[in-house]
Amino acid sequence: MRQHHYPKLAETLYSDVLPNGLTVHLLPKAGFHKTYAVFTTDYGSIDNTFVPIGTTHPVTLPAGIAHFLEHKMFEKEDHDAFDDFAHFGANSNAFTSYTHTSYLFSTTRHLKENLETLLDFVQRPYFTKATVEKEKGIIGQEIQMYDDDPNSQAYFGTIAAMYPDLPFKNDIAGTLDSIAAITADDLYLAHKTFYQPANMSLVVVGKLEPDETMGWIKANQAAKLFDRPMPIIRSQNEAAYQGGLIKRSTLTMPVERPKVSLGLRGVDQLPEGWDRFKYEEALSLGFDLLFGETASEYLRLYDQSVLDDSFGYNIELQRGAHFVILAGETADSDRFEAGITEILENAQAYLKKAEFNFETVKREAIGSTIASFNSLEAIANQYDDWLYGGTTIFDEVDVIEAVTFDDVLTAMQSFINLDTVSVQTILPGS
């Protein structure tokens, strides 16, 4: 077991890779009463085309399969894993993103039993035709709920418009039609390929004793038989996506005010590891300088009522895509779009004007990162073993400190490309 102390965070992380390939990270938090564990596979909604383990030809499974699998993992032949957790007082849950599926619990008591439940239920699939059919009703309701939510429509709709030729265009949960085609065999196939221990990581944070906890995990894994780890072949463009883009789309929904989202698709090739993380932080600081609450350009648009407190932006860097979405409600969608676009067009000049503010936004980023370590959930959910090749959120303060103003100018120059902007507007109406 490796031990790594992070003095700036006053935290010590314990890590190991087990013989079956599973990566484990343990973070004891003094004074905490709760333990939070999350078991993640590097498999999400975009991974529906892949070569199943033991075969040579790629298959494409219906959109929404990863999320469907997440729902179905809990149900076993004679019980529900949810009840096993409940028996020991734990809360359990799961979530699926574009690139990951995570299973989690939080508990103040019976950590060993709950950890074993987590490992066992995720590693022992059980699907039948009947249980798969029943789930379609539940997931159908979930899809409809998001269909009614304009914020969800704005966000995911913008991503779909930026990547019309990639699985990013599909909702994470799929559609009523796509999930109707899912079978138990599909679920077994996806599980066998992507739930290999070598494609998974377990992060446990909070009240725990590292040696004891690692011992429980090792014993649990050693008692199970796994296939030899096999490399996973999935359909994914390694180079930045250069395909089509829907420049403009308009949706009518029963909303009070127009909602406008601008999606900026990155078409630059990203560096690896530490440098990738640094690129992301440089972008984040760059957007703070242009559109953050301390930015004078933001204040100008705010005072002109072009945008208001509903305005926000998200920088997303994921396996297979990176993009920024700027979104808000506005009385006048044309002015909103023009105001944002003008700042993007002149980003380098505005950034240089805002250089005096660089240390301020950097300070804020550092403080917010340290503060996020108050939350067991934030630590464990954000921990990602794959994206930055060994650099993790524990290195984030160092990464931010290393970013120079020139790094910001370079990253923003490399990222912003006005030819790959997609604008989605949701207009009031029924």
Partner 1 sequence: MQLGKGIGLTVIPTSQFKTVRVAVDFIAPVTVSELSKRILMAQLLETSSQDYPTQTALATALSNMYGASFGVNVFRYGRINGLRFSGNVVDGALLGDPDVLATMFNFMKKVIFRPLVKDDAFESQTFTLQQRNLIAYLKSLDDDKQYHADQQLQNMVFSDLPELATSLYGDAATIATLDGQGLLADYQNLLATNQVQVTVVGDVTEAQIKALMGDWPLPDRTPLKESPIVTRLRQPLIEKTEQQAVAQAKLNLAYQLPIGYRTEQFYAALVFNGLFGGTPISLLFKNVREKNSLAYFASSQFDAFTGMLSVRTGIESHNRQAVEAIIAAQLTAIQNGQFSDELFDQVVASLINGRESRMDSAQALLNQAVLDELVGSHVSTAEWVQQVSAVSKQTVSAVAQQVTQQATYFLEGADDNETAPLS
Please, what is the minimum distance in Å from the beta carbon of residue 252 to partner 1?
10
Per the CB < 8 A criterion, the answer to whether 174 and 146 are in contact is: no
Please, what is the minimum distance in Å from the beta carbon of residue 56 to partner 1?
36
Instruction: Decide whether 357 or 414 has the Cβ nearer to partner 1.
Output: 357
- How far apart, in whole angstroms, are the C-alpha atoms of residue 170 and residue 174? 6
Measured from the Cβ of residue 253, the count of other Cβ atoms closer than 10 Å reads 16
Please, what is the minimum distance in Å from the beta carbon of residue 51 to partner 1?
32
Q: Distance of CA 347 to CAs 132, 285, 341, 352, Å?
A: 50, 13, 9, 9
3-state secondary structure of 224: coil
Instruction: Decide whether 104 or 162 has the Cβ nearer to partner 1.
Output: 104
Instruction: Decide whether 133 or 334 has the Cβ nearer to partner 1.
Output: 133
Helices marked H in 30-148 — which ranges? 65-73, 81-87, 111-123, 129-147
Q: Distance of CA 380 to CAs 15, 99, 121, 236, 279, Å?
A: 13, 16, 19, 26, 22
Tell the residue number behind the tokens 């039609």, with chain if given.
177
Instruction: Decide whether 72 or 276 has the Cβ nearer to partner 1.
Output: 72
Instruction: Decide whether 173 or 325 has the Cβ nearer to partner 1.
Output: 173
Q: Distance of CA 174 to CAs 185, 277, 332, Å?
A: 18, 30, 33
Please, what is the minimum distance in Å from the beta carbon of residue 360 to partner 1?
5
Instruction: Decide whether 147 or 268 has the Cβ nearer to partner 1.
Output: 147
Q: Which residues pair with 204 in a beta bridge?
A: 26, 37
Catalytic annotation present for 377? no
- The closest alpha carbon to 82, from 73, 72, 92, belongs to 92
Amino acid occupying residue 151: N
DSSP state of 269: P
- The closest alpha carbon to 14, from 29, 1, 23, belongs to 1
Per the CB < 8 A criterion, the answer to whether 408 and 287 are in contact is: no
Please, what is the minimum distance in Å from the beta carbon of residue 257 to partner 1?
6
Please, what is the minimum distance in Å from the beta carbon of residue 238 to partner 1?
35
Instruction: Decide whether 162 or 283 has the Cβ nearer to partner 1.
Output: 283
Q: Which two tokens stand for residue 106?
A: 């939080």
Per the CB < 8 A criterion, the answer to whether 266 and 415 are in contact is: yes
* Run of H or E including 170: none
Please, what is the minimum distance in Å from the beta carbon of residue 208 to partner 1?
13
Q: Which two tokens stand for residue 302?
A: 């705010």
Judging by DSSP bridges, how do beta strands 200-206 and 23-28 pair with one another?
parallel
Measured from the Cβ of residue 377, the count of other Cβ atoms closer than 10 Å reads 15
Tell the residue number behind the tokens 């909103």, with chain if given.
336
- How far apart, in whole angstroms, are the C-alpha atoms of residue 34 and residue 11? 17
Instruction: Decide whether 92 or 221 has the Cβ nearer to partner 1.
Output: 92
Please, what is the minimum distance in Å from the beta carbon of residue 354 to partner 1?
11
Instruction: Decide whether 390 or 428 has the Cβ nearer to partner 1.
Output: 428
Please, what is the minimum distance in Å from the beta carbon of residue 362 to partner 1?
9
Per the CB < 8 A criterion, the answer to whether 72 and 131 are in contact is: yes
Q: Which two tokens stand for residue 319?
A: 């396996």
Write out the catalytic residue numbers.
70
